[in-house]
Structures are given as C-alpha cells and as structure tokens.
C-alpha cells in the first residue's frame, strides 16, 4: 500500500483516540502517560502490569476506559485464599435435575482489573496468565473463547511485599507493558481534590465500541516499519543481551539476562500502536523510544552487583538508549 494513502487512512481511523482520551480525561486528572499506555496495550492486543502506590486511580482508569468503550469490566481482588475457580468459573451440581452446569467466572469480560496480582498464590496467577496467553478458558470439558478485546490490567504494589507471591520472570514476560505510575503534580492534585469534593459526578459516555478497537488493530498491522527502524529495535534488544558488542562494557556485569524475543515483538507492536496514536502511517524512532522503557523494564533482570549499586533495569535501558545510534 502507498504510504501516503495509508497515512491518510490512519489519520482518519485514529481520530477516535483523541475522543477516547478526552472522555477519559473527564474523570482521570493527569496520568496522561498511563492512559496512553492503556490504549497502546488495547491496540497492541497486549496486557499491562501496573505498578504504583495505592490511590493513583489505577482502578478508576480501567473502569473509565471500559465505560468509554461500552465494554464489560470486572475487578478481581487477588487474595491469598483465592482459587482458580473463583477466577475462571466452575461446574456446579444442580440437585433438581441431577446435572452439572457451568458458572463462568469474572474473567469473562473485556477488561479485567487483577488488583494486587502478587497477593494470590501461584496457581491462581497461572490460571490468569494462561487465559491471557491462550485467550480461552476450559471448564470441565468445555472450552470458551474469551471475548475480544480482552485486556488484563494487573496491579502490583511496590510497598508491603511481605506475604506476597512475586510473579516469576517467565510470567511477567507475558505482559506487554509494565507501567510505573507516580504521584500527580500539585496542580493536578488540586483539580482532583476539587473534582471529588464538589460532589459533581462526571459521567463518561461511550465514545467508541469494541469493534472500533478490533478494526484499529487490523489497521495497526498495516503501519509501515522501515528496515532502519527494525534494525534499531534489534540493536536495543541485542544491546541488553550482549552490551559489549555495543560499547557498553560497564553494563556487562549489571545485566543478569537480557530482553527476550517476545520483547522484540512487543517493542515493534508498541511502536506501531504509538504511531497510530500519533496518527501516522509509519513508525519513527520516537515511537520506539517512547514505548521502550515500558516494554523492557520487566524483561531485563539486573545482577546483585547492580542492586548493590542501587541500579535498576530502567537505568540499564536508559544507558542502552543513550548509546545505541538512532537511525
């Protein structure tokens, strides 16, 4: 397809992004980056791991997104006594007719907020992550396809780690993005305070349908990624695996293991989604850099030496971005 025509098409088809963001901003003050990343996850057909202290509108954000899309939303509070059946559903015996019938769990929704995912034991986490990967659920002898769009937003609390079940690296890798959110600015906080104290409830109107998202996903596949951009993505990922080859000798002892091929896929997908949000039919290096931190931060593990020096995977990614030449 001609890039100019594709560009024009994307410009028209991506108009809903502004509408969606405007609608969400009626309720969510600030946190523009979080909202933008939620849409990236939605468009990239990925799931999101959200890390932030309590009270930063994580739940409200996904609830508002669901409302603005007229999609089904469920919140599941993960606790140590949660069972897989509580999540995916189970078979219940009906005494009246002597048969078993299936009671579907809350996972059968478009948007799932898995609140404090690290509080539930491994078997529940596995059940959720399997559903995220396969996008289907099997109860008894019946398999059910999950309704699209299906987005899981799992939250983790960086404080209070006692009695939690941290997600294994292999499972964390299944999340397309890991977003870290911080406190709002002073001005934003003032706005939040006024908005909540005045007693006026801002109602979110549905501005798009789930079908629009599915349509946008198809369009995203058509977005042009030049080979220079592809090489740039590969350079970033490979620099995390063998930093010496990129003149980053000092990182060799700081990286325990680098980003996986799934990171490469998600970085390319995320960059395409970013280009779509920016209403472009082609990816530019800004798109890659813009999403890079969120795609890679949970996929690069640092060594004990790095931890001793209080260096995180984010520092490592920043060093890589500062060293790898932009095409």
Partner 1 sequence: MVRKIYFPIILLLLSSFSSFGQTVTANASTDKKDYLVGDYINFTIQVQHDKKENIIPPTIQDTIGALVVIKKDTSFDTDNNGAITSTYKYILSGYDSALVLIPPVSIQYKGSSDTAFQSLSTNPVQVLVSTLKINPGGKIKDVKAPIKIPLDWKLILLWALAGIIILLAAYLLIRRYLKKRSLIPEIQKIITLTPHEVALNSLHDLEEKKLWQQGFIKEYHSSITEIIRRYFEKRYQLPALELTTSEALELLKRRSDAEVILNVTKDFLNNADMVKFAKFIPLNSVNEEMLKQAYEIVNKTVPTEKKEEKPEVANVP
- Could you give the string, one character per residue 227-256, with x where binding to partner 1 holds by CB under 8 A and - elsewhere? -xx---------------------------
Number of residues that bind partner 1 (CB under 8 A): 22
Only one of the segments 58-66, 89-97, 168-176, 315-323 lies at the binding site for partner 1 (rule: CB under 8 A); that segment is 315-323
Task: Name which position in 260, 289, 301, 314 contacts partner 1 (CB under 8 A).
Answer: 289
The alpha carbon of 32 is separated from its chain's Cα centroid by a whole number of angstroms, namely 14
If binding is defined by CB under 8 A, does position 282 make contact with partner 1?
Answer: yes
Smaller CB distance to partner 1: residue 7 or 125? 7
Shortest separation between residue 251's beta carbon and partner 1, angstroms: 15
Please state, in angstroms and as integers, the Cα–Cα distance from residue 228 to each residue in 84, 232, 285, 302, following that order. 45, 6, 9, 29
Q: Which pair of structure tokens corresponds to residue 259?
A: 């980003």
Helices 15-25 and 32-43, axial angle in degrees (round to 10): 140
Please state, in angstroms and as integers, the Cα–Cα distance from residue 7 to each residue in 11, 36, 162, 220, 222, following that order. 6, 20, 50, 11, 10
Measured distance between the N- and C-terminal CA atoms of the chain, rounded to whole angstroms: 23
Do the Cβ atoms of 313 and 303 come closer than 8 Å?
Answer: no
Task: Name which position in 281, 298, 306, 313 contacts partner 1 (CB under 8 A).
Answer: 281
Shortest separation between residue 267's beta carbon and partner 1, angstroms: 15
Only one of the segments 57-65, 115-123, 201-209, 283-291 lies at the binding site for partner 1 (rule: CB under 8 A); that segment is 283-291
If binding is defined by CB under 8 A, does position 33 make contact with partner 1?
Answer: no
Cis (ω within 30 of 0) for the bond into 149? Answer: yes
Point out which residues bind partner 1 (CB under 8 A): 3-4, 7, 224, 226, 228-229, 280-286, 289, 321-327
């Amino acid at each position: 397809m001609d890039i100019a025509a594709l560009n024009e098409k994307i410009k028209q088809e991506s108009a809903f992004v502004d509408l969606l963001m405007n609608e969400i901003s009626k309720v969510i003050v600030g946190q523009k980056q979080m909202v933008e990343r939620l849409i990236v996850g939605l468009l990239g057909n990925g799931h999101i791991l959200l890390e932030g202290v309590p009270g930063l509108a994580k739940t409200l954000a996904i609830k508002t997104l669901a409302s603005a899309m007229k999609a089904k939303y469920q919140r599941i509070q993960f606790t140590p006594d949660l069972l897989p059946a509580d999540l995916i559903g189970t078979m219940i015996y009906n005494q009246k007719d002597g048969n078993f019938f299936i009671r579907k769990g809350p996972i059968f929704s478009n948007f799932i907020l898995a609140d404090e995912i690290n509080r539930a034991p491994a078997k529940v986490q596995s059940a959720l992550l399997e559903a995220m990967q396969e996008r289907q659920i099997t109860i008894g002898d019946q398999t059910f396809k999950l309704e699209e769009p299906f987005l899981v937003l799992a939250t983790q609390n960086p404080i209070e780690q006692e009695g939690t079940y941290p997600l294994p690296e292999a499972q964390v890798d299944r999340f397309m993005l890991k977003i870290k959110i911080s406190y709002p600015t002073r001005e934003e906080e003032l706005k939040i305070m006024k908005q909540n104290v005045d007693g006026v409830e801002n109602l979110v109107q549905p501005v798009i349908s789930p079908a629009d998202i599915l349509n946008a996903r198809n369009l995203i596949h058509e977005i042009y990624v030049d080979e220079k951009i592809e090489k740039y993505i590969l350079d970033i990922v490979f620099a995390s695996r063998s930093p010496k080859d990129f003149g980053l000798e000092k990182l060799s002892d700081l990286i325990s293991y680098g980003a996986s091929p799934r990171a490469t896929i998600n970085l390319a997908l995320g960059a395409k989604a970013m280009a779509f949000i920016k209403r472009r039919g082609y990816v530019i290096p800004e798109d890659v850099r813009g999403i890079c931190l969120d795609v890679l931060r949970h996929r690069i593990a640092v060594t004990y030496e790095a931890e001793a020096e209080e260096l995180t995977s984010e520092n490592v990614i920043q060093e890589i971005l500062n060293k790898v030449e932009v095409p």
